[in-house]
């Protein structure tokens, strides 16, 4: 094991049916057919599909696989799999053979009725299909089930609507490629054929001890805590960020890396985050669709490896009140098939017209569809994080940094950019230390959409969410603006002048989306309102963006979603929100009703008995009575809130309209949940710790 583990190069992608492995195992003609479909689309013939399926199956079985599975990403944001053994009846003699046919590879037929479809499917219309995504390699998943050959697929309903997060992403990748190539051609590049969005996802997560986790119903059912007084020590000292990694966490990270490397996930960076118990993993960026698959595998593998180490991995956006939650920074850029990063400003950004045009186009796209971008990162957990002065606010803005901001301003004011701010040297003042080359621009952690050197970093995505939607939105909105630019340039008499005019116009008209200041500041909320930028504070509010006229026009133009599909996705948003809060509320009712209040009443009784006994003995009982009164008053508040919440939940479940239900949970249930939590957290600080029924914040955060 030790020896094996040291050979990372051999180990890397060992469980992946890579293009190289396919090349070794397939007849040359079949392999080139596969390559062609990957590069420019089209279909394999049935005979070719059979050959690929056989090679894939042989490789999988040689490596110990027993089953295959169409692996897909339904609209609930997770991954789905159903395993089928390779075992197939053979000849008439009753024997069995191990088989995977081209048909099995190309198409699966899971029952679609139990996956979210937002009204597109009724339970009696069960048919759905999974179709092989040839651009994403098959892999072996090693778990307690044994080894399963996972075939990445997209998921469609019988009537052809996408029921997953992958199909729209793949579509958006083709669309942005087409529009960007079109633009580059106009600008004189005759060779470029394809442009692929690149995505690198920094994943934050928390670890807790499995024993502690099991004792808390909120963690088990809701994935985050619903009660808990702050621990004596939280993140105030900033001593966890980049701190020495604790032993158990270190061995978890080590195994996690090896598991990910075997799956071909290029895990690169790991470190402790700000709150105790929080960590981060960042892989090297890849094609957006692969990055999506890999991020799903990262989340899944984190959970599995944690269990092996007596830990649990919390991917929820806000596991604990009062300390930072978790997100995933989504780094995005555009790469041509010639290896050019179109977001690289180069040495002199002010003269890089192609870069400035694309940059200005991104600004316009983000400004026109800020609501849709905001919506794409909605999930119930992220509501607890965005705008909480620890993560970006719920208002979309773009950080350009000093250098590009200056170039933009020169262009707006004079129509020309003559120079750029340079980085210079950071003088260390120590003779034995080299001076450090400084970047021209400092970082800004508070910006939701920040330009970071040669990519945009979309920082609002929640830690548990799929990146499918946000990346689909970025690709599509940028493609739309590039398409508008191309329309203009194709009609222009003088392309150079028109390009210049467009850059100036976009910067001038969309300057309002640029904000380089502190996004956590309260003043920004006012300033953004003054600028007319949308501020959708919650998931329920943000869902409106899906059917806004500009969104429908955008998606219909490129054929990604019809209005009906957008309405169904909106319905899923409302429904998911209400259901999630409902579960949280029921969990609170259970914990308060069966654990906290009974435990505290026990303590109350002890106090009452103490008061009686002391009084009988002729002692003064002021102190004991005071404490008893405090406890009794919090218990009363908790019991009142509990009864109210129980009634409200019963009512909520009866509201049939999804939107109304979502807002009822947001506006009525959530405030009552807060009313129940407050006295319970106060009681935690008052009662004998032996009577407190479950592990505290301190236990959860520090016993890792
Ligand atoms: P930063 O510290 O600025 O966030 P890192 O180098 O740590 O940058 O990268 C963070 C993530 O961004 C990593 O996943 C990395 O692979 C990814 N990344 C780096 N360059 C690009 C790029 N051009 N396009 C997309 N993602 C990128
Ligand atoms: Mg980063």
Which segment of 143-147, 373-377, 598-602 scores lowest on mean pLDDT? 143-147
Check whether 124 has a pLDDT greater than 60. Answer: no
Does 281 fall in a domain? yes
With tokens 């099991």, the residue in question is 214
Q: How far apart, in Å, do the first and last CA atoms of the chain sit?
A: 25
The answer to whether residue 384 is domain-embedded is: yes
| Beta carbon of 272 within 6 Å of any ligand 1 atom | no
Say if residues 66 and 147 touch (Cβ distance below 8 Å).
yes
Residues for the chain: how many in total?
Answer: 704
Residues 44 and 157 in one domain: yes
- Could you tell me if residue 429 is inside a domain? yes
Nearest-angstrom CA–CA distance, 206 and 54: 41
DSSP for 508-546, written as a single string:
HHHGGGB--S-TTSHHHHHHHHHHT--B--SHHHHGGGG
Note whether 160 and 204 are same-domain residues.
no
Rounded to the nearest 5 degrees, what angle is found at the Cα of 173, between the Cα atoms of 195 and 344? 40
Confidence of residue 337 (pLDDT cuts 50, 70, 90): very high
Q: pLDDT tens, 687-700?
A: 999 999 999 999 99
Distance 288 CA to ligand 1 centre (A): 13
Band of residue 148 on the pLDDT scale cut at 50, 70, 90: very high
Residue 442 has pLDDT above 90, yes or no: no
4 confidence band (pLDDT: 50, 70, 90): low
Mean pLDDT over 328-338 rounds to 97
Predicted pLDDT of residue 428? 66
285 CA distance to ligand 1 middle (Å): 7
Do residues 666 and 593 both lie within one domain? Answer: yes
Considering only CA atoms, which of 188, 214, 246, 216 is closest in space to residue 310? 214
In a domain, 615, yes or no: yes
d(CA 484, CA 32): 36
Atom of ligand 1 nearest to the CA of 343: 23
What count of Cα atoms within 13 Å lies in the side-chain half-sphere of residue 343?
Answer: 24
Query: How do residues 475-532 score in pLDDT, each as one tens digit?
Result: 999 999 999 999 999 999 999 999 999 999 999 999 999 998 888 888 899 999 999 9
Torsion-angle region of 181 (φ positive above 0: left; ψ -120 to 50: alpha; else: beta): alpha
Q: What distance in Å separates the CA atoms of residue 54 and residue 97, rounded to the nearest whole number?
A: 12
Report pLDDT digits (tens) over 32-87.
999 999 888 889 999 999 999 999 999 999 999 999 999 999 888 788 888 999 99
Answer whether residue 388 shows pLDDT above 80: no
> In this model, does residue 683 exceed pLDDT 90?
yes
Ligand 1 centroid to residue 377 C-alpha, Å: 19
Q: How far is the CA of 357 from the centre of ligand 1 (A)?
A: 22
pLDDT at position 21 over 70: yes
Same domain, 551 and 422: yes
CA distances from 266 to 1, 11, 13, 256 (A): 21, 12, 9, 12
455 in contact with ligand 1, CB cutoff 6 A: yes
Q: Are residues 593 and 631 in the same domain?
A: yes
Q: What is the largest CA-CA distance in the chain?
A: 103
Give yes or no: residues 522 and 615 share one domain.
no
β-strands 449-451, 398-399 pairing: parallel
Domain shared by 528 and 642, yes or no: no
**Would the CA dihedral through 698, 700, 701, 704 be positive or negative?**
positive
Tokens of 231: 């621990």
Q: Tell me the residues surrounding ligand 2 (ion) with CB < 5 Å.
A: 329
504: left (phi over 0), alpha (psi -120 to 50) or beta: alpha
The last residue of a domain, from among 509, 532, 561? 561
Q: What residues form DSSP beta bridges with 314?
A: 206
Burial code (b: 16+ CB inside 10 Å, e: under 16) for 484-495 equals bbbeebeeeeee
Of the ligands numbered here, which is closest to the C-alpha atom of 459? 2
d(CA 475, CA 207): 33
Cβ of 454 below 6 Å from ligand 1: yes
User: From the centroid of its chain, how far is CA 607?
Assistant: 48
Share of the chain above pLDDT 90, in %: 73
Cβ-Cβ contacts under 8 Å for 417 (sequence gap 6 or more): 349, 350, 351, 356, 407, 410, 411
Look at residue 369 and tell me if it is in a domain.
yes
**194 and 267 both lie in a single domain:** yes
Q: Is 314 in the pocket of ligand 1 (CB under 6 A)?
A: no
Total number of domains in the chain = 3
pLDDT interval class at 348 (50, 70, 90): confident
Least confident of 196-200, 207-211, 418-422: 418-422
- Which of 196, 455, 467, 478 to mutate for ligand 1's pocket (most ligand atoms within 8 Å of CB)? 455
Considering 561, 589, 609, which residue would you say is the last residue of a domain? Answer: 561
Structure letter (DSSP) for residue 595? I
* Helix residue ranges per DSSP H, 41-165: 46-62, 102-106
**Mean pLDDT (whole number) for 659-665:** 97
Pick the ligand that lies closest to the CA of residue 270. Answer: 1
Residue 569 within any structural domain of the chain: no
Q: What is the mean pLDDT of residues 396-401?
A: 93
Give the angle 485-486-492 at the CA atoms, nearest 5°: 90
658 with 571: CB under 8 angstroms? yes
Residue 414 lies in a domain: yes
What percentage of residues in the chain have a pLDDT greater than 70? 97
Residues 261, 150 share a domain: no
Probe residue for ligand 1, chosen from 204, 271, 285, 336 as the CB with the greatest number of ligand atoms within 8 Å? 285
216: domain CATH number is 3.30.590.10
pTM, rounded to two decimals: 0.95
Q: Residue 636 in 3-state DSSP? A: helix
Helices 288-308, 468-491: crossing angle, 10 deg rounding: 170
Residue 80's beta-bridge partner residues? Answer: 72
Domain that holds residue 588: 577-702
Higher pLDDT, 273 or 588: 588
Write out the two tokens for 662: 């979502």
Residue from 342, 407, 159, 142 nearest 255 by CA: 142
CA distances from 328 to 97, 112, 144, 457, 464 (A): 45, 29, 28, 10, 8
Please state the atom number of ligand 1 nearest to the C-alpha of residue 285.
16
| Same-domain status, 683 and 614 | yes
Q: Is residue 566 part of a domain?
A: no
- Is the C-beta atom of 283 inside 6 A of ligand 1? yes
pLDDT of res. 490: 97
Contact, 299 vs 203, CB < 8 A? yes
Domain finish residue from 164, 181, 199: 164
pLDDT, tens only, 551-597 = 999 999 999 999 988 999 999 999 999 999 999 999 999 999 999 99
Q: How far is CA 548 from the centre of its chain?
A: 23
Mean pLDDT, residues 166-175 taken together: 95
SS3 state at 309: coil
**Quick check: 383 pLDDT over 60?**
yes
Which is the closest atom of ligand 1 to the Cα of 333? 24
pLDDT at 123 over 60: no
Question: Which ligand neighbours the alpha carbon of 332 most closely?
Answer: 1
511 is written with which tokens?
Answer: 């300057």
- Residue 93 sits in the same domain as residue 215: no
**Distance (Å, rounded) from C-alpha 201 to C-alpha 463?**
10
> What backbone torsions phi and psi does residue 152 show, to the nearest 5 degrees?
-65, 130
What are the start-end ranges of the E strands in 362-452? Answer: 398-399, 425-426, 436-437, 449-451
Q: Distance between CA atoms of 175 and 471, rounded to whole angstroms?
A: 13
Same domain, 128 and 36: yes
| Neighbouring C-beta atoms of residue 613, cutoff 10 Å | 12
Atom of ligand 1 lying closest to residue 283 CA: 14
Query: Domain of 582: which CATH number?
Result: 1.20.120.1560
Q: Are 198 and 335 within 8 A, CB to CB?
A: yes
Phi, psi values for residue 294, rounded to 5°:
-65, -35
Q: For residue 325, how many other CB atoms are within 10 A of its CB?
A: 25
How far apart CA 284 and CA 396 sit, in angstroms, is 26
Taking the CA of 458 as reference, the closest ligand is: 2
Q: What CATH number is given to the structural domain containing 105?
A: 3.10.20.70
């Amino acid at each position: 094991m030790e020896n094996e583990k040291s050979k990372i190069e051999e180990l890397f992608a060992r469980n992946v049916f890579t293009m190289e492995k396919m090349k070794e195992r397939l007849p040359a003609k079949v392999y080139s057919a596969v390559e062609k479909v990957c590069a420019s689309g089209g279909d394999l013939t049935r005979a070719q599909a059979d050959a690929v399926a056989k090679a894939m199956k042989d490789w999988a079985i040689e490596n110990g696989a027993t089953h295959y599975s169409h692996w897909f990403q339904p609209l609930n944001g997770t991954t789905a799999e159903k395993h089928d053994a390779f075992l197939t009846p053979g000849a008439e003699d009753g024997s069995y053979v191990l088989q995977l046919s081209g048909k099995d590879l190309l198409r699966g037929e899971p029952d679609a009725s139990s996956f979210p479809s937002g009204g597109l499917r009724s339970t009696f219309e069960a048919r759905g299909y999974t179709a092989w995504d040839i651009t994403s390699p098959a892999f072996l998943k090693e778990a307690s089930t044994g080894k399963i050959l996972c075939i990445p697929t997209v998921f469609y309903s019988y009537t052809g609507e996408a029921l997953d997060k992958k199909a729209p992403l793949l579509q958006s990748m083709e669309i942005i490629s087409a529009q960007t190539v079109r633009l580059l051609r106009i600008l004189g590049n005759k060779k470029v054929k394809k442009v692929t969005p690149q995505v690198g996802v920094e994943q934050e997560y928390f670890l807790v001890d499995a024993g502690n986790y099991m004792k808390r119903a909120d963690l088990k059912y809701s994935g985050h805590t619903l009660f808990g007084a702050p621990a004596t020590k939280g993140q105030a000292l900033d001593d966890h960020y980049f701190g020495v990694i604790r032993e158990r966490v270190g061995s978890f990270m080590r195994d996690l890396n090896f598991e990910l490397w075997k799956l071909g996930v290029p895990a690169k960076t790991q470190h402790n985050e700000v709150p105790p118990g929080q960590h981060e993993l960042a892989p090297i960026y890849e094609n957006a669709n692969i990055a999506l698959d890999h991020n799903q595998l990262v989340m899944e593998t984190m959970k599995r490896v944690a269990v092996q180490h007596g830990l649990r991995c919390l991917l929820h956006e806000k596991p604990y009140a009062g300390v930072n939650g978790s997100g995933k920074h989504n780094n995005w850029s555009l790469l041509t098939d010639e290896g050019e990063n179109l977001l690289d400003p180069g040495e002199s950004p002010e003269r890089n017209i192609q870069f400035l045009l694309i940059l200005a186009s991104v600004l316009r796209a983000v400004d026109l569809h800020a609501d849709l971008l905001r919506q794409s990162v909605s999930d119930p957990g992220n509501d607890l994080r965005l705008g909480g002065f620890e993560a970006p606010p719920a208002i979309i803005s773009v950080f350009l940094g000093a250098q590009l901001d200056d170039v933009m301003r020169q262009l707006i004011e004079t129509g020309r950019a003559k120079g750029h701010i340079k980085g210079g040297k950071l003088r260390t003042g120590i003779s034995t230390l080299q001076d450090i080359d400084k970047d021209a621009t400092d970082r800004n952690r508070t910006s939701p959409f920040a330009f970071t050197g040669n990519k945009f970093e979309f920082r609002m995505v929640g830690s548990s969410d799929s990146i499918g939607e946000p990346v689909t939105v970025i690709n599509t909105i940028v493609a739309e603006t590039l398409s508008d630019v191309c329309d203009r340039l194709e009609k222009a008499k003088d392309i150079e002048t028109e390009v210049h005019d467009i850059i100036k116009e976009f910067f001038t008209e969309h300057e309002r989306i640029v904000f380089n200041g502190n996004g956590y500041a309260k003043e920004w909320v006012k300033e953004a309102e003054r600028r007319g930028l949308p501020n959708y504070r919650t998931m329920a509010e943000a869902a409106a963006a899906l059917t806004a006229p500009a969104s429908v026009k955008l998606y219909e133009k490129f054929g990604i979603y019809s209005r009906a599909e957008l309405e169904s996705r909106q319905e899923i948003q409302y429904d998911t929100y209400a259901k999630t809060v409902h579960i949280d509320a029921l969990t609170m009712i259970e914990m308060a009703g069966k654990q906290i209040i009974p435990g505290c009443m026990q303590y109350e009784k002890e106090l009452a008995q103490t008061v009686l006994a002391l009084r009988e003995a002729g002692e003064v009982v002021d102190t004991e009575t005071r404490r008893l009164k405090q406890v009794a008053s919090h218990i009363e508040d908790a019991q009142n809130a509990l009864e109210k919440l129980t009634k409200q939940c019963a009512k909520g479940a009866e509201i049939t309209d999804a939107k109304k239900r979502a807002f009822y949970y947001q506006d009525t249930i959530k405030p009552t949940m807060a009313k129940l939590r407050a006295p319970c957290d106060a009681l935690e600080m008052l009662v004998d710790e032996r009577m407190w029924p479950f592990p505290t914040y301190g236990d959860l955060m520090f016993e890792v």
